[in-house]
Structures are given as structure tokens and as C-alpha cells.
Chain A
Amino acid sequence: MRREGSPWQGLGVVVLKELSDHLTSARMRVLEWLVVLVALAAVYAAITQVRAVTAQDPFLFLRLFTTARDPLPSFVSFLGFLVPLMAIGLGFDAVNGEHNRRTLSRILSQPIYRDALLFGKFIAGLATLTVSLVVLWLLLIGLGLLMLGVPPGGEEIGRVLIFLLVTIAYAGVWLALAMLFSVIFRSAATAALVTLGLWLFLTVIWPALAPAIAQAFVPPDDQAALVITAQMLARISPSTLFGEIVLAILHPSTRTLGPVYLSQLQGAVMGSPLPLWQSVLVAWPQIVGLIAASILLFVGSYVAFQRQEVRA
């Protein structure tokens, strides 16, 4: 059965409205402060450490992103926590909020399809996250320039730019997950709790659980199979994928993300950096995985939303 009219009708209107809601909301105020504080803390930690450790590092600028100093974690691990929180904060009441305000049936009785409403909300959420992340990224680079006094090289800029794009995709995964639960659960509090619970599970518990599960299935004498299975299982979690991408992109000397046989290392110069595109290739499956995960989750919420009854 073919529907008449475009599914995108009204999309722009929804995006603009949701965007203006996000940008004027109290949540956004909190997000802005988080962004500024995280940038300051990360730069402070990294710079004091970078100055102490090395002056001859060819990728000094990347150290801004990856160096940790006790008790503060590095900027990338900050982001690993902050981005899901931001995304879940923006998405957990996207659809059930409309239900509870009893605006859903009124909006859907206007000449638009449900597609426009759901997709508009996703785009607006992702745009808000992108704005925050870009600001954070620029802040970090600007502060780094000021405090290190060394301009970044072209390749470094390329790497941090790719890192920015990957972070946005990572945010997309959690936003899509939060929106999926906002479609499934009528209560916003339930949706938020379930999403946060799943996030904690995938980020904290799953990486620890994966080797244990692998041990249960793989014969213990096959060490390589054990490691590979554990890694495959761990990669179900978007946090693991994000961590691996960061490793490949921001540490140019990373040559592989899996186990390596000694024979494969013949002729390799240990510790020498890879060119940018080789690093991207190393992390390519993970990058595609992140993007695919957000698309799949969005499709899931799309299907659930299309079939949902709109009555309150």
C-alpha cells in the first residue's frame, strides 16, 4: 500500500521547534556548564602532564586529548561518560513527553506523517549534541594553542577532526537508544532509568563480563580463540567500539585492535606511527559499527512508533 505525500513534510518545522526547545531548556544550561568545566579540567590535567613528560613528541597536540593525570581522567574518557549522559538527557522523553503532555494526537492530526515527528526529533537532538561537541572541541584546541604555544600539524588536525565525527556518531547511538525507550515506555522516568541502566551495563559491566562468557563457550586450551571471542563479545557495547576507535585514531602508533601473531609483526618498526588513513582503516569496522548501531536503533524506534496507538 502506497502512501500519498512526502514523509518529510513538516520535518523542517519539527527540527526547528525541537532545536529551539533544546537550546532554551534548563538541560542545555547544564550541558553548557558541563562542557566548559570538562574542557578546562581536561586541558589543565593534560597540559601539566604533557609539559612534564615530553617535549619531542611529534603528536604533542593529540596528547591533549588522551593524557590523564591523577585523579582526573583524560579528555577522551571524560567524553566516553559525558556524551552518553548528554544524549540520554536529550532523548529520554522525546516521544513519551508528547504523550504525557497530551500533545501527540493534536500534532499528528496535522497534515504530517509520524516519520517527520520522530526523525525531526532525532535530527534536532543530534544537532544540539553536535553544537555542544564542536564547541567543546574548539575550546580544547584553542586552550591547547594558548597554553602549549605549539600549533598543531595538518595530520593532527585531521585526526582530531575524525575523532570529532566519531564522537558525534557515538552520541547518535545513545540518542537513538534513548528515543527507542521513549517510544516503548509511556513514563519518562522509566525510560530514563532503563536507558541509564543499559548504558551502565554496556559500559561498565559488559566489558568485564565478556571474557567470562567467552570462557564458558571456548575450550580453555585455545588461547587465541578465547581472546578473539571475548573481544567480539565486548564489541557489542558501543563504549568498547568508541574506546577502540579513539585508540586507533588518537594514538598513531596503534597498528591493530585485535591480537597479533608474531609472524605478522615481521619487519614492523615497533612504535613508529601509521599514516592517518592507515589509522582510519584500522578502526574502520568499529566506525561503521557505531553508525550502523545508531541507524538500527533509530529504525527500531521508527517501527515501534509507527505501530503505536496515539490515544492517551
Chain B
Amino acid sequence: MSGPVIEAAGLSKRYGTATAVDSVSFTVGAGEIFGLLGPNGAGKTTTILMLLGLSDISGGTARVFGHDPAREPLAVKREVGYLPDSVGFYDNLTAADNLHYTARLIGIPRLERKKRIFGALERVGLHGVAEKRVATFSRGMRQRLGLAEIVMKGARIAILDEPTNGLDPQASLELLDLIRSLKASGVSILLSSHLLDRVQSVCDRVALFNAGQIVLMGTVAELGRQVLGGGFTVEVEAEGGKDIAKRLGALPGVRSLATPEPGRFRLTCERDLRAEAAAAVVAGEGRLKQLSLDQPSLENIYTRYFQGAAQAQEVRDAA
């Protein structure tokens, strides 16, 4: 891996007195999928627009392949493919004609255009409807057409704003597969979303946005350790036996033990303790019915973090 392809340092956006993005810093490495996550209005789209040079930067710096989006927007926009939130196309034109217009704007040579357009449509599975007017397309098809545009452009960075927003589960799974295949072909991807579980499955690293600031950043496992305390939660379901709870609680590496209902135990531990837990149950002559390891989920991290933040805020307000 070479250096980062996107670097933001202290990036800020102010509208009058309101601050939409408050000095965010992050980097996206080459070939990485980086997720900007957070509630609507947290400043994700504004950050993206500043990276593209489509919105003025009020403070801080941004670099895309070493180019400053404010000064060299064309150089940035040549390398970056952008899929806006609920992307639109010209309804009266066919899918191929829409891409043809973009291809000419990009400046793809005439002889190459057709090959690249149909290659891209094939890649996203739209080659069958290349000559259909976009007016007949479903939302999922439009999003895929947007990805086809990025593929056709040969972009080295793809910036996707809420790519799975408003899609049915099937369509969004297909879209995520396409995003993975983009990554496999060497494209670095920056995506924003408020749908946490979907995004978790594709992102290498994430940044959690809240009120214009990045509050947490790292891999999902890192965030889990940071916010949820223990990185691992082992769930044990066992029947019979003696002192199982005690035995499990005594295992080295267990931070806490909860018993949500009789016969079910939830261990929060520092490492994967499934084998030890199984041995403990058997040693206590219990019948092990189920044993599972919960990866920390973004959903949990997110809710837990904001619960914590809200409580801290209340405490501060009360003081």
C-alpha cells in the first residue's frame, strides 16, 4: 500500500455562524473502503462536497492524490467518481446515452467510448437495458447506473453518498457486492451512510460523525474495544450442571458475566473464550446447547456511544 489517497486535515465548513463541519481530519488509504457514518445532517455530505471541490472550504486543508480540490478541481474530478445521494439521470435519454454524455464531458476519446460504456454497463448488470430510457428504471437500477458511470470513468477513487439509501434488501446487497468488486479492482472507496449494519460488512475503517465532528474513528473491532469495553461477547446456553455461572465467571480473561435468563450466560471478555467456556460447561456437567461469539456491531457501538455522550451531556447540564 502506498500513501493515503485522500487526506483531510482540520476541514471545516461554516455557514454564517452555523458550523456544518467542524475541523474533521481523516485519511483514506489506497485500496481501502472508508465509511463516513452518522445521522442525517451530521456533515457527511458537506465533507464529501468539499473533497470534490463542489463546495468552498472554510478552514483546514483537503488533498486528493495530492491535489487541492479548491485550487485544482479539474485534476481532482478527473480521478474521482462521485455517486450522489439518490442520483438522477436524464429521464428522456437511454442509459447508454446518459453515459455517453458523461463520457464526452470527461473527454474519453470517441473510439473508446462505446467499448467503455458497454463494458461498464455489463459490469453492473445493466447491459440488457442499455437502450431503455432511464425513466423506466427503478431506484436500484439508477444507483447501479451511477456506479457504471464511475467504472466507465476509470476513477481511482469512488465517493459514494448513501449508496444503499432507499433500496430494498436485495438491491442493496447487490450494490454492496458491486462496491466490493470495485475495491477488488483497486479503487479506493469513501462511502457515507446512516445504515450501520449494511456498511459494517464492507468497510475497512469507519469514522463516526456527530454534529459536524468525527467522534470515533478506526476499524470496527477497534471501536468495539474502545466503546463497548471488551472486544468480545461470548454467549453460552447450557442446561443442568452445577455452578456453571461461577465456573464461567472464574475463567481468566472474563471481565463480566451477565445472566439474561436462566440457562443463558453472556460473557464479556478480552479475547475469544469460546473453547474455555465450553470446557467449563462440560466440567460442570452441564449440557452445552449453544455457544456463539458476538462481533461488536456498529449498531451497538453507535447507540452505546451516543447514550454515553447524552448522559455526559446531562451531567454537564445539571452541574
Contacts and interface: CB of A to CB of B under 8 A. Distances in A.
B312 to A, nearest CB: 32
B87 interface: yes
Interface stretch (A141-149, A170-178, A304-312): A304-312
Contacts of B89: 101, 103, 106
Interface in B291-317: none
B41 to A, nearest CB: 12
Interface string A1-24: 111110001100110010001000
B77 interface: yes
Contact of B88 (A13, A101, A110): A101
A111 B49 contact: no
Interface string B69-98: 011111101101111111111111000000
B74 A9 contact: yes
Interface in A3-53: 3-5, 9-10, 13-14, 17, 21
B80 A17 contact: no
Given A101-B91, A102-B87, A102-B88, A108 B54 contact: yes
A92 interface: no
A310 B49 contact: yes
Interface stretch (B99-107, B123-131, B167-175): B99-107
Given A111-B78, A310-B49, A310-B55, A103 B105 contact: no
A106 B146 contact: yes
Interface in A77-114: 101-103, 105-113
Contacts of B71: 1-4
Contacts of A105: 49, 54, 82, 84
B133 to A, nearest CB: 13
B161 to A, nearest CB: 9
Given A106-B82, A106-B146, A109-B82, A13 B101 contact: yes
Given A4-B71, A101-B90, A310-B54, A111 B77 contact: yes
Contacts of A112: 74, 77, 105
B45 interface: yes
Interface of A: 1-5, 9-10, 13-14, 17, 21, 101-103, 105-113, 309-312
Given A101-B91, A102-B87, 16 more contacts: A5-B72, A5-B74, A5-B75, A10-B105, A103-B88, A105-B49, A106-B83, A106-B88, A106-B102, A108-B54, A109-B82, A110-B105, A110-B106, A111-B77, A111-B78, A112-B105
Q: Which 4 A-B pairs have the closest CB atoms?
A: A102-B88, A109-B82, A5-B74, A110-B105
